[in-house]
Amino acid sequence: MAYTEIPQSIQHFMEQMTQKCHEANQPRWAENFNAGFANTLLTTVRRYDDGTTFLLTGDIPAMWLRDSTAQFRPYLVIAKEDDDIRSLITGLVKRQFKYINMDPYANAFNETPNNKGHQTDHTEMTPWIWERKYEIDSLCYPVQLAYLLYKQTGETSQFNEEFHEGVKKILSVWETEQHHDQSPYCFERDTTRLEDTLTHDGKGTPVDYTGMTWSGFRPSDDACQYGYLVPSNMFAVVVLGYIVELYSTLFTDMTVLEQANKLKKEIDDGIKEHAIVENNDGENIFAYEVDGKGHYSIMDDSNVPSLMAAPYLGYLDKNDPLYLSTRKTLLSKENPYFYEGEFAKGIGSSHTPENYVWPIALAIEGLTTDDKQEKERILNLLVDCDGGTHLMHEGFDVNNPNHFTREWFSWANMMFCELVMDYFDITIEAHYN
């Protein structure tokens, strides 16, 4: 079952946001907010009789574990008062963990076992899997959604048997990938685009032990240059904090609790020991990726988790000095994916053409500052650069916003919506107790 009209509670919230935007003399924000907020429900949602929810990422007929969480996150503010929206989000968590239990190394899944997607990749595919690029954040996001749903609404039915099995699989994978040389995972694709495959017979570039956990791919679905993706490890630390809290209060499983506590400390210690490097000015900043062998990259990517998003994810405070020095570097030419042109400046990605910045990255830039004027500047920029569609895109040309990738990208739409909500102090707290 799909939505054919906007539920009353969603419509009421959109009307409230419209009023706030008009009172702030920003009617264009309201137009784009309403388009994006409605678009996700009307175009991406499939509800099933088993109580689960499938969510298309947009113009690709598959569900990403990462994207689906971000697509629904802004609806959490409505879920406390609306049983149907709460059930919708609960159903998404249940389907996410159903997929994780099928294969915790896969990042995107089909709606049915239809063999669609990248079935010719050299890895362990099944008819359910659209793509099997292992990304740490694919396992972080469903735990985040389950936790935030509980904290926002008190809902606990998402914590079913599949959730607990999934948590155990997540912990097992993260422990395994602390020692990637002993991992069963490998991935190769027959392609001329090197970002879509892993080197060294599908194992990726060599790494040494750091305490962090390895990732084959970035949240852009592009291959990591070095195996320890720092922002994703930051996200893992936060999510392990969620697991520790849940298994200290709601559930009794000392094995899971001890395993999560141990992993959390090891990964966090690994970040502090191996991921702090110097920029060109000699300031300490976080590296984007490291390999434990002394190699590292100074950069950021548009997709979340990113270094820019560290406070948004709940890893540290947005006024942390180390974060601020990192942020300054990321918003400079020292970051090879920082672009500035006639109409915009911001962070892009290796996933899209040069000089294309991403609305997701711009939204995160706004969500990680306390400066209202900066939030306003970014919101106006996003509206000005929507290509006349009233929706967000994957990336757009800083010198011609009418040139963009992906006309329909639900994750980007909802990141814009979340920034509008944040501007009016409607926030979803990510920090754990």
Mean pLDDT of the chain: 96
pLDDT tens across 102-140, in order? 999 999 999 999 999 999 999 999 999 999 999 999 999
Handedness of CA 137, 138, 141, 146 (dihedral sign): negative
pLDDT of 433 above 70 = no
Phi, psi of 143 (to 5 degrees): -65, -40
Per-residue pLDDT at 410 = 86
Distance CA 227, CA 288 (A): 10
* Segment 21-37 mean pLDDT: 97
Cβ count near 30 (within 10 Å): 19
Tokens at 258, concatenated: 């001890």
Mean pLDDT value of segment 291-299: 98
pLDDT digits (tens, 9 = 90+) for 396-430: 999 999 999 988 788 999 999 999 999 999 998 76
Closest CA to 34 of 274, 401, 391, 398: 391
Q: Which amino acid is at 294?
A: G
Pairing of strands 395-397, 356-357: antiparallel
Residue 59: is its pLDDT beyond 80? no
- Residue 361 sits at the vertex; the CA angle it makes with 356 and 366, to the nearest 5 degrees, is 130
Is pLDDT at 432 greater than 80 in this prediction?
no
The yes-or-no verdict on residue 50 having pLDDT over 60 is yes
Give the pLDDT mean for 30-55.
94
Burial class from Cβ neighbours inside 10 Å (0-12, 13-18, 19+) for residue 429 reads: exposed
Q: Is 112 exposed, middle or buried (0-12, 13-18, 19+ CB in 10 A)?
A: exposed
The pTM for the full model equals 0.97
Q: What is the pLDDT of residues 253-289, one digit of tens each?
A: 999 999 999 999 999 999 999 999 999 999 999 999 9
Share of the chain above pLDDT 70, in %: 99
pLDDT of amino acid 40: 87
Tell whether the torsion through CA atoms of 340, 334, 285 and 221 is positive or negative.
positive
* pLDDT for residue 355: 97
**According to the model, what pLDDT value does residue 431 have?**
65
pLDDT value at position 389?
Answer: 95
pLDDT tens for 320-367 read 999 999 999 999 999 999 999 999 999 999 999 999 999 999 999 999
* pLDDT tens digits for range 180-211: 999 999 999 999 999 999 999 999 999 999 99
